[in-house]
Structure 1
Amino acid sequence: MTIRLSFEDGTLRVEQTDADSATPDTAETTGLPPLPGVESDPRSGVARAPAHRYAAIRQTLDDAGVSVDDRVRPRITDPDLALSTDYDLREYQRDALDRWHEAGERGVLELPTGSGKTVIAVAAMAALSVPTLVVVPTVDLLEQWRRELRTEFDVPVGQFGGGDQRQEQLTVATYDSAYLRADDVGGDFGLVVFDEVHHLGGEGYRDIARLLVAPGRLGLTATFERPDGAHEIVADLVGDRLVSLTPDDLAGEHLADYEIRRVEVELTPAERERYEARQGVFVDYLKRSNITFRSGSDYQELVKRSGTDPEAREALLAKQDAREIMMNSEGKVRACRRLLDRHREDRVIVFTAHTDLVYRLSERFLLPAITAETSAPERRELLRRFREGDYSRVVAANVLDEGVDVPDANVAILLSGSGSEREFTQRLGRVLRPKADGGTAILYEVVSSETAEERVADRRR
């Protein structure tokens, strides 16, 4: 008995080539052990499985002593591809790589921003030396990875995304482009690296991992768990979380020592009056409607009701108004001024949740501003000048949290943000890279006192 495995349109085609049966989907019809994910395809008369089941199916057949005509393996290996790296891994990086190898070259590494996750991935690519696809969330990261791989390996590096669709033995793709191309190229890579792998939990992006045969799978993130529980799906598609280190685990020796300082500011009398009025409208509606607002589903329920219920819509608008008042208060602007004065000799990134506040701060304190409205070339130029010391401070709204190569800074001022632990960890990570002088990084949380923002700040910790 011989089983032929081949890749076709994002699936693994499984055929029995020396018997009448062409659909080896059950042990009863073929005498085979059950093959993971294999089902009969009545349209083609053969059996198929999701492409990502390739490694498990091949292992099952090998364990059973079944002869395999493997048309997949020659495509995902290349004897002429010999990758090597001069990186000298730190102890925790070597431990993470060893655990990944022990887990069968599958798994997720959860390490803080600035801890060198890319270095581990490059070492993994060198160890396997197979055609590799690296999937990233943004064009900025795509370009960053391509530069890194071209420099380290001195080989052509292709890309899917950013206006280019060129495949090489090493290829970097955005999640969006990988989603569009996976069913075509899913049989061409032996290793896939998912940077910021928590994105893979998104409903559409999951198909990227399903459509790739790649036996080797490596996920990188600073914050693996998702509030919606989709990290469990990621674990099934990429592998279990093998390492979980926090900034505290690496601070001092491998990352900068750091402090988190909370600065509380008062609303002005006019802001307090508006805040209490709008927050009161919101809270009164919740009491009347029996919505606790303790989960995302409660918020979704309010949004759903706002489509038909004028009072629900007014409550939703009132909540948004109250949030903007407490997050963009004049006290925060004054606190920002004091902190910028205190850290005149430091490199500072100011984070906000609202674009309007970015421009307000930029105009008042002459700070270079980066928002979603900033073009990619302009953003790169601003960060280049920040990196080279022309600028010592920048202010940004939600665009430097991840997916952007941010130069070293040692002070972060968090004027406003969500209750997301992921967002907070990413922003802290922007100041954690080791300092040449061994200095301590500082993150300031500026919080409007006696508002709902106090609970938001507590939640993200």
Structure 2
Amino acid sequence: MTVRLSYEDGTIRVDADADSAESLPPLPGVEADPRSETSRAPAYRYAAIRRALAVAGVRVDDRVLDASDRAAEAVGLADGLSTDYDLREYQREALDAWRDAGDRGVLELPTGAGKTVIAIRAIVDLGVPTMVVVPTVDLLDQWQRELEAEFDVPIGRFGGGEQRREAVTVSTYDSAYLKADDVGDAFEFVVFDEVHHLGGEGYRDVARLLAAPARLGLTATFERPDDAHEAVAELIGDRVYGLDADDLAGEHLAPYDIRRIEVDLTPEERERYDEKQGTFVEYVRDAGITFTSGSDYQELVKRSGNDPAAREALLAKQDAREIMMNATRKVERLAAILDRHRNDRVIVFTAHTDLVYRLSERFLLPAITAETSAAERRETLERFRDGTYGRVVAANVLDEGVDVPAANVAVVLSGSGSEREFTQRLGRVLRPKDDGGRAILYEVVSAETAEERVASRRR
């Protein structure tokens, strides 16, 4: 008995004659397709199907990864893949754990721990057509530069105005989403950088439509509060190795301190905050909303559509949040921090674009927000790297996907309760320093407000 496997529009087509089909073992994800009188499974099931057929002793005519154009691209690939990187002990342990898991799974390591280095070593070890998927154009550029510096092969690119496929290709998640069913049989290995993005329902299709049996996820924070990391594990594999910043600080990452600074609201801010927060608290108490889960907040949002009191409470909560996040004395404390670290490389993080522009104007800080053009962002970061700028202020956009090796001080003026956001902001300053100095992260928190709970939750 022979079963033929082929790739077709994001699926694995399973062909067997009628007699053979009845005696096939159960195959993961495979269902009958009456239209083609065959069976099919989502492409990501390819490796599991091959394993099931091998265990059952079924002969396979495998045409999934044997397209002629892909084979032509792969000619001489292994000869052009090499790296001078010497893996640290924990990096080797991480790579070995991934190999032992069947070349599938997620590595959870802090920013600056060398996840890219591990992935490059994996690409060399496998020596097969590979796609690296990243969330931002900044990361797209960084990966392309890194791969071009290491490998003696052309590097393809999907994203940032280019659509060029090579045996080793870098893509944004958005471009991969658009092209996955067209190139799903072109790569045997796929690396998902910042793999937690795959938890988004749309991006999951990127992994579903690719047949690549070898899959590596990289992240500093795997688990998501919405539990979508469980879907990521199904598509990529479980977390097979993990370390946090404390495990590596002092030897492989910069030693660091986290300093929490509390500031009081001004009398005017206190009066407005208490009024707005009181309106919110009174409504949710009377409505029996406890906020023990994310669905409780969604319930308030849903009610606000037809309940004026709910809408008033929701707007009051937003107003109270803006007051505590953008408190006047936070700005005054930032002035003292910037003066104390006038010779250091400082990144200031905020949650609101308006505050970024206020700080930029007051302290003459280069600003980066979602409104900043890609060209201006790249120029600003390059000047930060080369020392032209000694400090920069940003609203969320530098939380991930940006290589800022020179920074050694971070100031969080405002943010969410997300552990991921906090870990990524800390990671901006953890890369080892030439002088062996310590990194510092300041949290500036409005005292006697809900921000105290937010700050505790993210840690």
- TM superposition score category, shorter chain reference: over 0.9
Question: Which letter maps to 1:335?
Answer: R
- TM-superposed CA distance for 1:84, in Å, is 1.3
Task: Give the aligned partner of residue 8 of structure 2.
Answer: 8
- TM-superposed CA distance for 1:247, in Å, is 0.2
1:383–1:407 CA contact under 8 A, matched in 2? no
Task: Give the aligned partner of residue 41 of structure 1.
Answer: 33
Other structure's SS at 2:25 match: coil
2:106–2:218 CA contact under 8 A, matched in 1? yes
2:320 maps to 1:322:
yes
2:54 maps to 1:62:
yes
Task: Give the aligned partner of residue 104 of structure 2.
Answer: 106
Question: Which letter maps to 2:442?
Answer: Y
When the two chains are superposed, the root-mean-square deviation of aligned CA atoms in Å is 1.1
Question: Which letter maps to 2:127?
Answer: S
For residues 334-413 of structure 1, what are the structure 2 equivalents within 5 Å?
334-413=332-411
2:42 maps to 1:50:
yes
Distance 2:27 2:419 in 1: 40
Distance 1:233 1:400 in 2: 26
Task: Give the aligned partner of residue 215 of structure 2.
Answer: 217
What 5-or-longer segments of structure 1 have no aligned partner? Answer: none
1:140–1:403 CA contact under 8 A, matched in 2? yes
Distance 1:294 1:6 in 2: 48
Task: Give the aligned partner of residue 76 of structure 2.
Answer: 80
Greater shift, 92-101 or 55-64, is seen at: 55-64
Greater shift, 326-335 or 60-69, is seen at: 60-69
Distance 1:252 1:90 in 2: 14
Task: Give the aligned partner of residue 206 of structure 2.
Answer: 208
2:325 maps to 1:333:
no
Greater shift, 67-76 or 275-284, is seen at: 67-76
Distance 1:49 1:369 in 2: 48
Greater shift, 237-246 or 78-87, is seen at: 78-87
Other structure's SS at 2:223 match: coil
Greater shift, 63-72 or 374-383, is seen at: 63-72
Other structure's SS at 2:215 match: strand
- TM-superposed CA distance for 1:154, in Å, is 2.5
Distance 2:59 2:239 in 1: 33
Distance 2:18 2:190 in 1: 36
- TM-superposed CA distance for 1:80, in Å, is 2.4
Distance 2:119 2:82 in 1: 12
- TM-superposed CA distance for 1:374, in Å, is 0.7
1:179–1:205 CA contact under 8 A, matched in 2? yes
1:198–1:231 CA contact under 8 A, matched in 2? yes
- TM-superposed CA distance for 1:266, in Å, is 0.6
Task: Give the aligned partner of residue 138 of structure 1.
Answer: 136
Distance 2:456 2:121 in 1: 38
Distance 1:156 1:84 in 2: 13
Other structure's SS at 2:3 match: strand
1:400–1:406 CA contact under 8 A, matched in 2? no
Task: Give the aligned partner of residue 157 of structure 1.
Answer: 155
Task: Give the aligned partner of residue 196 of structure 1.
Answer: 194
- TM-superposed CA distance for 1:50, in Å, is 1.0
Distance 1:437 1:346 in 2: 12
- TM-superposed CA distance for 1:21, in Å, is 4.7
1:41–1:47 CA contact under 8 A, matched in 2? yes
Task: Give the aligned partner of residue 313 of structure 1.
Answer: 311
2:233–2:239 CA contact under 8 A, matched in 1? yes
Aligned residue pairs, count: 453
Other structure's SS at 2:77 match: coil
Task: Give the aligned partner of residue 253 of structure 1.
Answer: 251
Task: Give the aligned partner of residue 169 of structure 2.
Answer: 171
- TM-superposed CA distance for 1:408, in Å, is 2.1
- TM-superposed CA distance for 1:293, in Å, is 2.0
Question: Which letter maps to 1:226?
Answer: R
> Equivalent of 1:71, from 55, 58, 63?
63
Question: Which letter maps to 1:60?
Answer: A
Task: Give the aligned partner of residue 227 of structure 1.
Answer: 225
2:77–2:153 CA contact under 8 A, matched in 1? no
Distance 2:39 2:147 in 1: 38
- TM-superposed CA distance for 1:165, in Å, is 1.4
Distance 1:244 1:153 in 2: 28
Distance 1:293 1:67 in 2: 55
- TM-superposed CA distance for 1:407, in Å, is 3.8
Other structure's SS at 1:188 match: coil
Distance 1:355 1:142 in 2: 25
The one-character-per-residue Cα deviations of 1:245-293 (angstroms, maximum 9, x if unpaired) are 0000000000000000000001000010000011111111111111112
Other structure's SS at 2:41 match: strand
Question: Which letter maps to 1:80?
Answer: G
What 5-or-longer segments of structure 2 have no aligned partner? Answer: none
Other structure's SS at 1:351 match: strand
- TM-superposed CA distance for 1:363, in Å, is 0.7
> Equivalent of 2:179, from 176, 181, 195?
181
Task: Give the aligned partner of residue 264 of structure 1.
Answer: 262
Distance 2:245 2:428 in 1: 11
Task: Give the aligned partner of residue 421 of structure 1.
Answer: 419
Distance 1:43 1:72 in 2: 20
2:278 maps to 1:280:
yes
2:3–2:14 CA contact under 8 A, matched in 1? yes
Distance 1:227 1:103 in 2: 26
Distance 1:115 1:101 in 2: 19
Distance 2:77 2:152 in 1: 12
Residue identity (%): 75
The one-character-per-residue Cα deviations of 1:64-89 (angstroms, maximum 9, x if unpaired) are 22211111243477352111111111
The one-character-per-residue Cα deviations of 1:92-114 (angstroms, maximum 9, x if unpaired) are 10110011111110010000011
